[in-house]
Chain A
Amino acid sequence: MKIGFPRALYYFDYFPFWSGFFHSLDIELVISPPTHREIMNQGLKKASDETCLPLKILAGHIQALEDVDYIFLPRMVSVEADTYTCPKFLGIPESVLPAVPEGQSVLTVTLNWRNSKRQVLKDLEVLTEQLGKSKAEIRQAFNKGMEWQKKYQNSMGAEWDFEDSLNKIESASWDSTESSKSSAPLTWKERMISIIPLTSDKAEKQNLPVGEKSDRLRIALVGHSYLTHESYANLNLLRKLHEKVDVELVQNVRQEDIEGHLSGLRKKIFWSHSKQIFGAGNKYAQDQRVDGIIYLTCFGCGTDSIIQELVSRKAREKHKPYMLITLDEHSGEAGLVTRLEAFLDMVERRRGHEGYVSTYGECLDSDSNAL
């Protein structure tokens, strides 16, 4: 049995869980190719006009999956206690059904961590019938999925590319636990490699100084993982940044740090992603080593409209250079490059001049970030 997994939205973040899950069930996962022009165009055609860019891309990826028995579209209601994901996640699969080619079956399951692990297991058991697996197997698969997800989370985005992180965890888990089983089916990573030819930029990446002390600027890029890692939609922002500066991501922040930086809010944030983003953004705003923050969002993102406001307030409070980049399907590369260069120039200049701004005409712009 082959199950298609769209490389969009929950792929970035929760794929380790699902890959572990299906791997344990001995089901092959087919991942759609990285977003390209055609996928984007198809997505724009089939998705609802009002929805946001990531969902449009998801609609495109759904159509890019061919020759699979099922397309897997889980309803990720919640991934931790007391939080939800975005309402648009809750509407999957119904809201993207128009994008599913006719005659294609959809596999869906509700994942809700709000209540308890027991509830999650119970929900997953719905799959037994469709997949022809026993409850015990599902339970085992769940544990496997959790193990892989944990490994991914513990790596805290050690590699700056999502695929690289997966790769690393995968090889690690393979070495330690299952190296004896040489006849094991192809790992999902190997399968993935066969789909994406790893091009020359792989070598390029390795030349980059990793973790090395340098006088390079350190810029934090905060935003949803499905935007920061979606290199087609964000016009390769992550790589562009990485060429010039050291990049910090939301994934690089330890969970305790995130929790610690949530205080000061009178009310808990009830979106899990946004909680991470705010916690990380707040930490970076206070972090002396970070020279500037870039917030990446997309047009029409409901959770970001609120969280971006809160993060920008924190950045302003700490006099941290801050830029908001809003993506949509019409984003042009030249515009982005210009803004990025201007921002980096400004941050660099500020570093050289120690934020000195002539006091003449002071308070003309009381809102500005200048010291």
Chain B
Amino acid sequence: MKVTFPHMGNAWIVIQTLFESLNVEVVVPPFNSKRTLNLGTKLSPESACLPLKLNLGNYIEAANEGADTIVITGGIGPCRFGYYGEVERQILIDSGYNYEVVTLEPPDGSLLGLAKRIRFLAGTKNSWAKILMAMRFAYLKSVALDRVEDLIHAARPRLSNPALTEKLYEKAKEQLVQAMTEKRVKDTVAWVQESIRERQEGLNTESVKPLRIGIIGEIYTILDPFSSVGIEEELGRLGVEVDRSIYLSGWVGNHIFRGLAPGYRSIKSYPKHAKPFLPHFVGGHGIETVGAAVKFAREGYDGIIQVFPLSCMPEIVAASVLPKVQDAYKIPIMTLIVDEHTGHAGIQTRLEAYVDMLERARLLQESIQTREGVLSVGG
């Protein structure tokens, strides 16, 4: 049995760790690329959302490397993602890929069924204690990954050479992939912190006050740089500090561990923030999106960008509520919708225009022009 799984940003590092510590053979699919998307789009229903198309692409590319079992999480709706497993299974079988699909969820609410599925994946050699240990370690790693990502978010607008920052990020990820002890994981985070501090020395960081933009929206697209066309990196290069509503471990803590583990940046508080605007959950992360927008607005962010795949149901509901948040807190909210036709240049143009607009607002705030000021320009 060779297990594979769909990509979602850095999630592969965590999933790979989990299976490797259980001695399960795992195939990490090639990273999301134009090719992945093309392969997936060919098999997918036309109006399915972007993550499904990328998932299918991942499976096909992984099948070429010998994978025969897919692991995916599930859910009981009402977001479409909950039904991905079954649809993907049928599509793959009809297309001639002989995959076994294991959906990690309690089937019809039966925990025993979930245990059986985990047992199927982990084989008979692993004890339950070992499985739990492996899950804990993978979780710790995901928290560390998020920590590193957040550090990079802060470093991008502040450090001078963007290429070096990206290199640091890549290196940190590489180290985390290889880290198999808790100490190594902790050391990596410390090392990233240290290198950023080193490079900050000599720079006059006090005077730099970058714009802050909160990124909210559908989890897959905001966690996966390929589908969001690298929006975070792009914004970082434009001198913006980015924060995100959902981090991987926050999702893992809530979705997989059912809230037993808070994760980095817990998503628990969002529904409370969203209440005046959207008092009921709408599936997916719709309510979290609204809640995060309110939270970012209250924390004084300069702008908010919502990202979601075309036709995403929960996010459309959130998007139709967000104008109210925008009015209430006087914060500009931009919506970016991505699909398989999204082009880099289009997104880049919109981001630049948006950042320009925010910078302008800030400049105006700093110097309210007086009559004399205008006259002195005139000479």
Contact = CB atoms under 8 A, between A and B. Distances in A.
B320 A302 contact: no
Interface in A239-294: 265-271
A50 B91 contact: no
A75 B47 contact: no
Interface stretch (B12-20, B276-284, B362-370): B276-284
Interface residues of A, number: 41
B239 interface: no
A300 B86 CA distance: 21
A90 B318 CA distance: 11
B316 A305 contact: no
Contacts of A326: 47
B317 A95 contact: yes
Contacts of A299: 47
A218 to B, nearest CB: 27
Main secondary structure of the interface of A (DSSP, over half): mixed
23 contacts: A48-B320, A51-B320, A75-B280, A84-B78, A86-B313, A87-B79, A87-B313, A90-B280, A94-B279, A265-B86, A266-B85, A267-B83, A267-B86, A270-B76, A300-B316, A302-B311, A302-B312, A305-B47, A305-B48, A309-B48, A309-B87, A310-B87, A313-B90
A305 B80 contact: yes
A308 interface: yes
A75 B79 CA distance: 17
A48 B45 CA distance: 24
Interface of A: 47-48, 50-51, 75, 77, 82-88, 90-91, 94-98, 110, 265-271, 299-306, 308-310, 313, 326
Contacts of B87: 306, 309-310
Contacts of A90: 78, 280-283, 317
Given A90-B280, A90-B282, 16 more contacts: A87-B79, A90-B281, A91-B314, A91-B320, A94-B278, A94-B279, A94-B320, A95-B316, A98-B320, A266-B86, A268-B108, A300-B310, A301-B47, A306-B48, A308-B45, A310-B90
A50 B324 CA distance: 16
B77 interface: yes
A46 to B, nearest CB: 10
Nearest to B46: A305
Interface string B248-282: 00000000000000000000000000000111111
Nearest to B318: A91
B283 A84 contact: yes
A270 B282 CA distance: 14
B82 interface: yes
B286 interface: yes
Chain B interface bracket (under 10, 10 to 19, 20 to 34, 35 or more):
35 or more
B300 interface: no
A304 B83 CA distance: 12
Nearest to B79: A87
A51 to B, nearest CB: 5
A87 B324 CA distance: 19
Contacts of B282: 87-88, 90-91
B199 interface: no
A77 B280 contact: yes
Contacts of A88: 282, 313, 316-317
Contacts of B90: 309-310, 313
B103 interface: yes
Nearest to A317: B94
Nearest to B109: A82
B323 interface: yes
B45 A302 contact: no
Q: Give the 10 A-B residue pairs with the shortest CB-CB distance, closest first.
A: A91-B317, A270-B77, A48-B320, A84-B78, A87-B313, A87-B283, A302-B313, A95-B320, A309-B45, A305-B47
Contacts of B79: 87
Interface string B81-123: 0110111011100100000000100011000000000000000
Contacts of A97: 324
